[in-house]
Copies of this chain bind each other. A is one copy, B any other.
Amino acid sequence: MKPIRVGICGLGTVGGGTFNVLTRNAEEIRRRIGREIIVEMIGARRPNPACDTSAVRTSKDVFDVARDPEVDVVVELIGGYDVARELVMTAIANGKHVVTANKALIALHGNEIFAAASVKGVSVCYEAGVAGGIPVIKAIREGLAGNRINTVAGIINGTGNFILTEMRDKARDFADVLVEAQKLGYAEADPTFDVEGIDAAHKLTILASIAFGSPLQFEKAYTEGISKICPDDVKYAEELGYRIKHLGIARRRENGIELRVHPTLIPEDRLIANVDGVMNAVMVDADAVGTTMYYGAGAGAEPTASAVVADIIDVARTFDSPASSVPGLGFVSDELLDLPVLPVEEIESAYYLRLDASDQPGVMTTITGVLSDAGINIEAILQKEVHAGEQVAHIIMLTHSVQESQMNRAIAAIEALDVVSGTVTRIRMDRLD
């Protein structure tokens, strides 16, 4: 059979890794699919010293690759939004299959991209965009395809998980660990994208669409970062038997879906609570199979390349019958349902609350009374001295599940109490059961 000819656009970390994996494992790959996959062309402004590309045609203009008649599959690894979008649309217009690791591109422009690909009868694959080398897109779109999926919850940003792990293991401050993460190359100079949850929201947006069969709705995702988490909260959570993780949660409700990224207390005996450092994991709860989890490296040159190459192999396996490939969002395009994303006020969650209150008789009764009046049940209470001799105590409460709007009202009422100083710290909690 004719080889599948790949054009790699972008030869940075992931592009270089992809080139090297395709080259090094060419024979293993040929044994798997019965035909060769060759790198036909590379589009990159600079060479990558980690790659010997001397035998490959190159261009400084990635659009040359997207238009090249000898290229079957365009691999978009330039990142960013606008140029990447134009590049992918050009490739599709030229009848090329597309493989990308660009979660932002898919989360923001995926609906348009999949529509164009559908018209041209080409595949757009993006396994590498979510949780790096973990084949979780495949697991959801194919492995769990017999299920009605209820919840997807994932640690899908390695930077954030590294920071929270260090904060817990070494009782360190957020700011302090962030500097270390930057030194280690785990966090960017401007870490906003990772620590404020935007990157995780891109990935969650994709996971939600393939889980529920709805269009991509990034702009509706609720996103909250980890920069406000204090060591005290990490410690108190621990004492109560919980870990704080930065989770992306997509959950099917009767009247729509929840789509939210925020720090979350989860019981320490859940397997996902023990996913530490830069590792990623995605938990899926579905009606037939129950809970499954997928764990691995969420970033890095070759882990990400592993997913890119798996996508290329998928394209190769269905190359002569593209109709048999899995649809972009895992559901046939005209079967996508416009499921509304619920506003954050309408989500349901249990909560961890921390507040400063006067350390005097009756205060606890007053505070718990406010929650009780709001119909909120308390699961656990912890009272901690802040500084010896001071008349202020940290009060920590875990509540049962309520609607966020209900909790907002209760928190406002607590903050209005004379005996309470400052604001109430609120971290959502999920039992994941």
Pair A320/B317 contact, Cβ less than 8 Å: no
Asked if A408 is at the interface (CB within 8 A of a chain B CB), the reply is: no
A17 to B28, CA, bound (A): 37
Structural contact, A313 and B146, CB atoms closer than 8 A = yes
Size class of A's contact patch? 35 or more
Partner of A288, one of B127, B274, B303, B324: B303
- Which of A75-83, A174-182, A183-191, A330-338 lies at the interface? A330-338
* B-contact 0/1 string along A267-306, CB 8 Å cutoff: 0000100110000000000111111111111001011011
Contact check, B148 vs A143: say whether CB atoms are below 8 A apart: no
A138 CB contacts on chain B under 8 angstroms: 135, 138-139, 142-143
Q: Which of A29-37, A157-165, A369-377, A391-399 contacts B (4 or more CB under 8 A)?
A: A29-37
Query: A68: CB under 8 A from chain B?
Result: no
Our pick among B144, B275, B300 for the contact of A306 (Cβ within 8 Å) is B144
In the bound complex, residues from chain B placing their C-beta under 8 Å from that of A294 are 139, 292-295
Q: Within the complex, what minimum Cβ distance (angstroms) separates A427 from chain B?
A: 24
**Is there an interface contact between B213 and A32, defined as CB atoms closer than 8 Å?**
yes
Contact assessment for B25 and A310 in the assembled complex, using a CB-CB cutoff below 8 Å: no
Are B332 and A25 in contact, with the CB atoms below 8 A?
no
Q: Of all chain B residues, which has the CB nearest A133?
A: B289
Residues of chain B contacted by A313 (CB below 8 angstroms) = 142, 145-146
| Selected A-B contacts with CB under 8 Å, 24 pairs | A17-B288, A25-B287, A28-B147, A28-B213, A32-B213, A32-B327, A32-B332, A133-B292, A135-B142, A144-B306, A146-B306, A146-B307, A146-B312, A147-B309, A274-B274, A287-B302, A288-B305, A289-B307, A290-B303, A291-B297, A293-B296, A319-B324, A320-B324, A324-B324
Apart from A24-B148, A146-B305, A290-B300, what 12 extra A-B contacts exist at CB < 8 Å?
A21-B146, A29-B146, A32-B330, A32-B332, A133-B289, A139-B143, A146-B312, A271-B295, A288-B302, A291-B297, A317-B326, A318-B324
